[in-house]
Every structure is written in structure tokens, then in C-alpha cells.
Amino acid sequence: MTPYAVLLTASDRPGMLFALTKVFAEHAANITYVDIHGGDGATDIYFEFRVDDGVRDRVIADLRAVDGVTRVEDTPSFSKIYGKRIVIMGGGAQVGQVAVGAVSEADRHNIRGERISVDTIPLVGEQALAAAVRAVVRLPRVKLLVLAGSLMGGDISKAVEEVRQNGLYVISLNMAGSVPDAADLVVSDPIQAGVMAVMAVADTATFDLVRQQKRRY
């Protein structure tokens, strides 16, 4: 099955999403991602889906035929445009320094054909950080989380263990608290942590995070 993406505008009314997803089901297309942005009486809906070769045109034609749909167009998928995501969260100063290293390294790999984007969110407080860590796995395309701060532990450590069980890699700055013990890798220098985060997810790098697990630098 080949991946595709489509952006459409439809009436904002009950049952519209059902009518659209029914089209995909009728063509045995597998929807992999949906994003909805509501407006004044109309809604923009973005679908990423996989379908057998030669079926895409029929899917688009049937979407256009749905009552209430006013526009349907092909679009590059988010993975092609933004690629893999790295999320950095924690104290503002530390987050900023990790981002410096991550953005600089991502630029080097993106020039060579990668697509790596860097997201940041300065946060304080155990419960706010723990909730944000758990929510990361619900975001699309996130491959790695960097926790940057001076003190993190308690429920944040539990959240780190949970997301790691879901396949997300976690890099932690060398800080007080139990989070460094729960993370995959601990790095003291924030700029180097950002660089290593990008190297860990880049196909154009030879850095293997699995071989570095539970080490401290």
C-alpha cells in the first residue's frame, strides 16, 4: 500500500466525518492520521492514508462526490514536509540551549535530505511535566524526547518509563532527581544533548542510541 495525503474542505455538520471515512473504508484504504480545523460553517480536514496502487484516484473522486464537500486536493504529507520530530521540554534556559544544539545539527542533516523538526516547551512543576511527557506519545511523528532542567523526579520519572515502554527514546540532562536514572541516555552539556538527539534519529548519521543506553556523558 502506498502512502498519500489529501486536504479537503467540507460543511461543518454532524455525520460529515463518518461520510468521509466511509469512502476510505469502501476502497480498503487505511487512514493513518487525521487533522481537523473548524471554521465558520466549513471545516478543513487533512487525511493521511495508505491504499493500493491505482486506487487513489477513485478515492479522491468519491470524496469529491460526498454531499457537503467543496474542495479536495492532493498535498504532501506532514512526514515529507516536517519529517521526524524531537521534543524538548523543561526549564526555559536549559531548553533553549538544547534547542541550539538540536537545530544546528538538524540543519546539517536536513541539507543532506533529512526532514527533522525541533519542538520546544518550557514547563515547570512535577504534574505539568509528567502530563506533558505522557502526552508526547500522542503527538504524530515524535521520535525522541529531551528533558532539560535542574531537578526532575517523582511522577515525571514514572512518565518517562511509560513512554519508553511505548518505544519513545528519552535523553535527559544530568540533573538532580530520578529522571536521569529512568532515561535512555544522560548528557551533561545541553548543546551536546541537542546534537546527540538529532544524531539518534537521523538516517544520515551513524550514531546508535541503543548502544549508548544508560550511559552518562
- C-alpha to C-alpha distance for 207 and 84, rounded to whole angstroms: 16
- C-alpha to C-alpha distance for 45 and 168, rounded to whole angstroms: 28
Going by their DSSP bridges, the two strands 142-148 and 84-90 should be labelled as parallel
Q: What is the mean pLDDT of the chain?
A: 92
The DSSP bridge partners found for residue 86 are: 118, 144
pLDDT of 208 higher than 80: no
DSSP E strand stretches across 76-127:
84-90, 116-122
Integer angstrom CA distances of residue 123 from 22, 97, 148: 41, 15, 10
Band (175; pLDDT cuts 50, 70, 90):
very high
- C-alpha to C-alpha distance for 54 and 58, rounded to whole angstroms: 8
Maximum CA extent, the chain: 59
Which position has the higher pLDDT, 39 or 130? Answer: 130
Give the mean model confidence (pLDDT) for residues 182-197.
95
- C-alpha to C-alpha distance for 1 and 155, rounded to whole angstroms: 41
For residues 102 and 86, the answer to whether their CB atoms sit within 8 Å is yes
Give the mean model confidence (pLDDT) for residues 127-139.
95
User: For 1-15, 83-97, 104-118, 197-211, which range has the lowest pLDDT when averaged over its residues?
Assistant: 197-211
What was the pLDDT predicted at 213?
Answer: 77
Band (81; pLDDT cuts 50, 70, 90):
confident
Per-residue pLDDT tens over the stretch 35-76: 998 777 889 999 999 999 889 999 999 999 999 999 999 999
Band (173; pLDDT cuts 50, 70, 90):
very high
Per-residue pLDDT tens over the stretch 147-170: 999 999 999 999 999 999 999 999
**CB-CB neighbours of 143 under 10 Å:** 18
For residues 87 and 142, the answer to whether their CB atoms sit within 8 Å is yes
For residues 8 and 75, the answer to whether their CB atoms sit within 8 Å is no
- C-alpha to C-alpha distance for 121 and 129, rounded to whole angstroms: 10
Q: Own/partner pairs for 92-95, CB < 8 Å, 24+ apart? A: 92/122, 94/148, 94/149, 94/150, 94/173, 94/190, 95/120, 95/121, 95/122, 95/148
Give the mean model confidence (pLDDT) for residues 90-100.
94
